[in-house]
Structure 1
Amino acid sequence: MSRFVEALASHSQLWGGWVVAPTLIGPEEFAAACYHYVGFDVQHGYLDDADVAMLLRRTEHLPIATAVRLPSADPAPIGRVLDAGADAVIVAMVENPDQAARAVAATRYAPAGVRSFGPLRASLGHDPAALEARVSVFVLIETARGLAAVDEICAVPGLAGLYVGPADLAISMGVRPADAGTHPDVRAAIARVRKTATAAGLVAGIHAGTGQLGNLFAQEGFRMITLASESQALRRGAADHLSEAMGQAAATTERGGYN
């Protein structure tokens, strides 16, 4: 059993952080803040296979689960991140059940799938059945086509859940990505994915981007919620520190503290 599966069994909601660059500090800080998982972005981030392998190794003894977002169901990249120890994969731009089935097949050995055997971490063992069982497979619903096929996608055996990408979903529906969290049509589409996944016994996940939206999505029933990337967290923390410092300095100056 992976840390991701253990976390799902223990918590009604999983809160996630996101890493888009080869940082050693980011995953440790998310773990220290009691996030349940950290996602490594190979689709939009500045991470290659070696970076992901290093980051996964770095998190091996941290109390945090790991997921890797990949741009497609290509079995070779998926196999490499699983060999390096990822607890879950999130496959982007899935628009039909065939693509979802290919994503699952990329995580399974023959005869059930097309994954090639080559574990890189001794701690994972060498039992193919155990290696398969520890992997959670999520597919990203982030287009109008994916939304239209969501019932068929949920019927694909081997999926752990659906993960909503609100920005791309909004764009595909003719809505600005900045309005994804408030536009009624996009909100209805997000709700549809969540309801369909839940009814199928799958985990409903979403990329919130902020704590405020994360809280809203949790109240609506999403179980896997990514809050912010390490760059967003750094930007917010840096801005808060600067605001506090400048506000304190201004107040002190008004009181005549500096001469």
Structure 2
Amino acid sequence: MSRLQDALAASDQIWGGWVVGPTIIGPEEFAQAGYDYVGFDVQHGYLDDADVALLLRRLEHVPIATAVRLPSADPAPIGRVLDAGADAVIIAMVESAEQAAAAVAATRYAPAGVRSFGPLRASLGHDTVALEAEASVYVMIETARGLAALDEICAVPGLTGIYLGPADLAISMGHRLSDAWTHPDVRAAMAEIQDTAAAAGLVTGIHAGTGQIGKTLADMGFRMITLASESQALRRGAAAHLSEATAGTTDPAGQDGYLQ
């Protein structure tokens, strides 16, 4: 099994960080902090699949699972990030069973799919059955059209899970971005996605953005919860350090402090 599959098998909830830029230390810091996985964003982030391949290679011996979000079910970039060692792909803006099936096919070799053979790391081996088994595929439901096709999407064979995008879902449903966590209709849609996907035997994932929201989502039953991006974590930590300095407070016992 992959690291991501191992983490899910060991715990009801797993916690993730998110990387949107070409950082070297960000993923390792998430691992050091105890996160279970890190996601690399090729949809909205300043990354392409070549950047991701280098980051994945650096994490080969770091104890953290990996996922890559891609903007479509185009099989070429999906194959490249899997060949580079990603544990999972997360395909954005899926609105039909046909799109979900195309995402699954991109992770499978012939005759079941359209993935081309070409692992980029020797450690991945050459066993196509094992390579397929270790490649998890999630599709994002984040629009009203995707929500309407929820049952059909969840029935697609070979799908690992559903990953929910709360911001786009709220916008697509005609609400403000700030309503993503508070509007009853959006919350009901989130609960429907979680319940339907779980009933179909799928893993449910979601973006949270804060630990407090992450706790609420865990209580709702979501299993794969992304808490923050590296930029969010940096901003929060930087603000806390500045607040401590300007308020004249001290860092007890030099907590996490060092000079270099």
Give the TM-score band, short-chain normalised: over 0.9
Deviates more, 1:173-182 or 1:34-43: 173-182
Deviation of residue 49 (structure 1)? 1.9
The secondary structure found in structure 2 opposite 1:137 is strand
Equivalent in the alignment of 2:115:
115
Deviation of residue 105 (structure 1)? 0.1
Give the letter aligned to residue 216 of structure 1: T
The secondary structure found in structure 2 opposite 1:218 is helix
Equivalent in the alignment of 1:13:
13
The secondary structure found in structure 1 opposite 2:194 is helix
Deviation of residue 30 (structure 1)? 0.2
Equivalent in the alignment of 2:192:
192
Deviation of residue 185 (structure 1)? 0.6
Q: Deviations over 1:26-64 (max 9, x none)?
A: 000000001000000000000012210011011111110
Gaps of 5+ in 2: 250-260
Equivalent in the alignment of 1:204:
204
Query: Is 1:223 the equivalent of 2:223?
Result: yes
Q: Deviations over 1:71-127 (max 9, x none)?
A: 000000100000000000000000010000000000000000000011001000011
Aligned counterparts of 2:134 and 2:63: Cα–Cα separation in 1: 16
Aligned counterparts of 1:148 and 1:248: Cα–Cα separation in 2: 54
Aligned counterparts of 1:103 and 1:34: Cα–Cα separation in 2: 30
Aligned counterparts of 2:148 and 2:248: Cα–Cα separation in 1: 53
Equivalent in the alignment of 2:126:
126
Equivalent in the alignment of 2:169:
169
Deviation of residue 13 (structure 1)? 0.3
Query: Is 1:82 the equivalent of 2:72?
Result: no
Deviation of residue 129 (structure 1)? 0.7
The secondary structure found in structure 2 opposite 1:68 is strand
TM-score between the two structures when normalised by the length of structure 1: 0.95
Aligned counterparts of 1:48 and 1:88: Cα–Cα separation in 2: 16
Deviates more, 1:54-63 or 1:98-107: 54-63
Equivalent in the alignment of 1:50:
50
Equivalent in the alignment of 2:258:
none
Aligned counterparts of 1:189 and 1:173: Cα–Cα separation in 2: 10
Equivalent in the alignment of 2:256:
none
Give the letter aligned to residue 171 of structure 1: I
Give the letter aligned to residue 81 of structure 2: V
Deviation of residue 178 (structure 1)? 2.0
Aligned counterparts of 1:46 and 1:206: Cα–Cα separation in 2: 21
Task: Figure out how many residues of one structure are paired with residues of the other and give that number.
Answer: 250
Runs of at least 4 residues off by over 4 Å: none
Aligned counterparts of 2:149 and 2:23: Cα–Cα separation in 1: 37
Aligned counterparts of 2:110 and 2:8: Cα–Cα separation in 1: 27
The secondary structure found in structure 1 opposite 2:158 is coil
Aligned counterparts of 2:179 and 2:241: Cα–Cα separation in 1: 28
Structural mapping, 1:26-65, within 5 Å: 26-65=26-65
Percent identical residues:
79
TM-score between the two structures when normalised by the length of structure 2: 0.95
Give the letter aligned to residue 167 of structure 1: A
Aligned counterparts of 2:49 and 2:71: Cα–Cα separation in 1: 13
Aligned counterparts of 2:45 and 2:53: Cα–Cα separation in 1: 15
Aligned counterparts of 1:178 and 1:6: Cα–Cα separation in 2: 35
Aligned counterparts of 1:39 and 1:49: Cα–Cα separation in 2: 13
Aligned counterparts of 2:136 and 2:95: Cα–Cα separation in 1: 19
Deviation of residue 177 (structure 1)? 1.4
Gaps of 5+ in 1: 250-259
Structural mapping, 1:128-167, within 5 Å: 128-167=128-167
Aligned counterparts of 1:161 and 1:101: Cα–Cα separation in 2: 12
Equivalent in the alignment of 2:232:
232
Aligned counterparts of 2:117 and 2:111: Cα–Cα separation in 1: 12
Deviation of residue 179 (structure 1)? 1.7
Q: Deviations over 1:197-255 (max 9, x none)?
A: 11001011101111111010001110000000000000000001111111117xxxxxx
Aligned counterparts of 1:2 and 1:156: Cα–Cα separation in 2: 21
The secondary structure found in structure 2 opposite 1:66 is strand
